[in-house]
Structure 1
Amino acid sequence: MKIAESVTFGGGGLDRAEDLRRHPDMLDDLTAMTLPLWRGKPLTAPSRDALSFLDGHAFDGHGTPVLVGRLGERALFARDVSALEVDGVDDDLGAFRDSSEQTHADLPAGSAFVELRQTMTRLSPLDAEIAVCAKGMLEWHRTNGHCANCGTPTQPGKAGWMRGCAGCGRMHFPRTDPVVIMLVTRGNDVLLGRSHGWPEGFFSCLAGFMEPGETLESAVRREVWEETGVRVGPVRYLSSQPWPFPGSLMLGAQAEAITDRIEIDPEEIAEAVWLSREEVMEVFAGTHPRILPARDGAIAHFLLRAWLADRLD
């Protein structure tokens, strides 16, 4: 797919500076700056279309500093500051569409912690990649404080890109969960589904976690059948997107359905529908009587837009 890396969180060109993780002396030679995140929300500038970096090792003592990468002659670290008592905590916090913003007296005027899904399409490709890396890494540290082998507390190393166990000597590295997400088509129609807990009318492409020993193609066929009862034939890879909610890699594929009868598994999804191209155009135009579009910035939105524009080449 020629436009694959134009997906949100793709193609930012971040210098991840892996060499610095192994050479603390080289890292110390660079000037540091910090991107703080509160409950996974990155700090954004007053315009909300850029991240806000703080000079030095700001909020030292909060969480594990993780080297995100090198920006010129500066080393950028992410830091979890969720222990801060912030202003702006309200009922929207943690909602499906969290529009709340949190501030703190020690932050630059006008800056705020903002849910990444609310601002991701406004960020530059580089800032978006920085944000997705920072959020994913800090969530990994939050949930991997103990050794999965022996249960001993682990300690960070390699500038935050490893956790070592003093009990059994194992080293643990960040992991990403692969998820297939499918643009399932049959002629002029596309198959969309709605998960439990989503707002009424909100539909997206079908998706599911890959299983051990499974190819992408097999996972696509299995997930579509499990969720909707629809059988799939040819499958081809299109594009990928890191999705740190909490730590997935979305593997986008196009799948050609060979049956069209829908029999959903109610434990898997709430509803599934076939929509024509013309109906999907109505969805994106906001004129469809009951269906809302996939979240802007998500790979499902990207794939559906590309399908409508005949850009799946």
Structure 2
Amino acid sequence: MTSYIYKFCPSCKTELEERLLGGLVRKACSSKTCSFIHWGNPIPVVAGIVERADRIILVQSHGWPKDWYGLVTGFLEMGEKPEDAIVREVKEEIGIEASVASYLGAYPFDQIGQIILAFHLIGATDPIKLCQEELSSYKEVAIKNLKPWERGTGPVVKEWLASRGLHRPFLKRTPITKA
């Protein structure tokens, strides 16, 4: 994982330096009296391919470009099982009940230091009630028209489609850059 987040030690505010630790180059405090090491451990998040009536529900987070959509995602609460977390996130973000059909795997999202625990869910046919605090839009895409994207949850979609005999190239997206 890239440790771009830290430039200075969060403990003593001394500049960090690169050191070979545990077989990898890591950021560590340059002070002789501080032992801080940025290990770069990923944060676990859950993601769900929510299927209903041969369609997949995609959501758009606030601030994303107008043509960017992704899977329902979220963080685990302390003590929560990943399969319970994704069912909760689906209910919170799009307002429908869902049940886990299968666990799809763990996918690294190194750009933001996360490990995605992905699930396939079957969603209820209730109307979508979008969480306006977190999301700006949603759409339902027929599985036959679903196309994966390169980053984040896109590799989950690509492998899931391939498991159904649908081999699709990644969509190209312009990265979001901050001015």
TM-score by length of 2: 0.71
Separation in structure 1 between the aligned mates of residue 55 and residue 95 of structure 2, nearest angstrom: 16
Distance 1:267 1:191, change over 3 A: same
Q: Does 1:148 align with 2:10?
A: yes
> Which secondary structure state, in structure 2, belongs to the residue aligned with residue 219 of structure 1?
helix
For the pair 1:215 / 2:77, whether they are aligned, the reply is no
Q: In 2 relative to 1, CA 196–294 (structure 1 residues): closer, same or farther, beyond 3 Å?
A: farther
RMSD: 2.9
- The structure whose RCO (Cα within 8 Å, separation 6+) is larger is 2
**Correspondent of 2:155 among 299, 302, 306:** 299
Aligned partners of 2:106 and 2:116 also within 8 Å: yes
Q: Offset at 1:180?
A: 1.4
Give the AA of the match of 1:228.
Answer: I
Counterparts of 2:163 and 2:50 in 1: how far apart (Å)? 11
Report matched runs for 1:98-177 at 5 Å. 136-137=1-2, 140=3, 142-158=4-20, 160-164=25-29, 166-177=32-43
Which SS does the other structure have where 2:112 is aligned? coil
Alignment of 1:6-25 (within 5 A): none
The letter of the residue matching 2:99 is: G
Q: What do the CA deviations read for 1:236-270 (whole angstroms, capped 9, x no partner)?
A: 32122222332222222112224532100122111
Question: Offset at 1:308?
Answer: 4.4
Match of residue 271 from structure 1:
137
Once the 2 structures are TM-superposed, how far is the Cα of residue 182 of structure 1 from its aligned partner? 0.7
Determine if contact 2:40/2:113 at 8 Å carries over to the other structure. no
How far has the Cα of 1:300 moved from its partner? 4.2
Residue type at the aligned position of 2:143 = V
Question: 2:92 is matched with which residue?
Answer: 226
User: 1:171, 1:272 → 2: CA distance?
Assistant: 40
Between the aligned partners of 2:67 and 2:7, the Cα distance in structure 1 is 39
| Residues 207, 306 of structure 1: alpha-carbon distance in 2 compared, 3 angstrom cutoff | farther
Instruction: Extract unaligned runs of 5+ from structure 1.
Output: 1-135, 285-292
Counterpart residue identity of residue 240, structure 1: A
> Structure 2 vs 1, CA of residues 213 and 147 (structure 1 numbering), >3 Å: closer, same or farther?
farther
For 2:120, the equivalent position in structure 1 comes to 254
Which residue number corresponds to residue 106 of structure 1?
none
1:160 maps to a residue whose letter is V
Worse overlay, 219-228 or 189-198? 189-198
Aligned amino acid, residue 161 of structure 1: R
Is 2:105–2:118's contact at 8 Å kept on the other side of the alignment?
yes
Q: Is the 8 A contact 1:204 1:300 kept in 2?
A: no
> Could you state the TM-score of these two structures normalised by the residue count of structure 1?
0.44
Partner of 1:83: none
For residue 5 of structure 2, what is the amino acid of its counterpart?
Answer: T
Q: Distance in 1 between matches of 2:42 and 2:160?
A: 24
Q: Which has the higher strand share?
A: 2
Kept after mapping to 1: 8 A contact 2:76/2:85 = yes
Does the CA-based 8 Å contact 1:154-1:166 persist in structure 2?
A: no
CA–CA distance in structure 2, aligned partners of residues 148 and 236 of structure 1: 40
Rounded Cα–Cα distance in structure 1 between residues aligned with 2:139 and 2:12: 46
Secondary structure of 1:160 counterpart: strand
> Structure 1's 307 and 226: CA in aligned 2 closer, same or farther, altered over 3 A?
farther
* Cα-to-partner distance string for 1:6-42 (whole Å, 9 max, x where unaligned): xxxxxxxxxxxxxxxxxxxxxxxxxxxxxxxxxxxxx
> Which is richer in helix?
1
> Relative to 1, partners in 2 of residues 1:294 and 1:199: Cα closer, same or farther, differing over 3 Å?
farther
**Residue in 1 aligned with 2:143?**
280
Q: Percent identity?
A: 25
Displacement of 1:171: 3.3
Runs of 4+ with deviation above 6 angstroms? none
**Residue equivalent to 1:206:** 72
Partner of 2:44: 178
Look at both structures and tell me which one has the larger radius of gyration over its CA atoms. 1
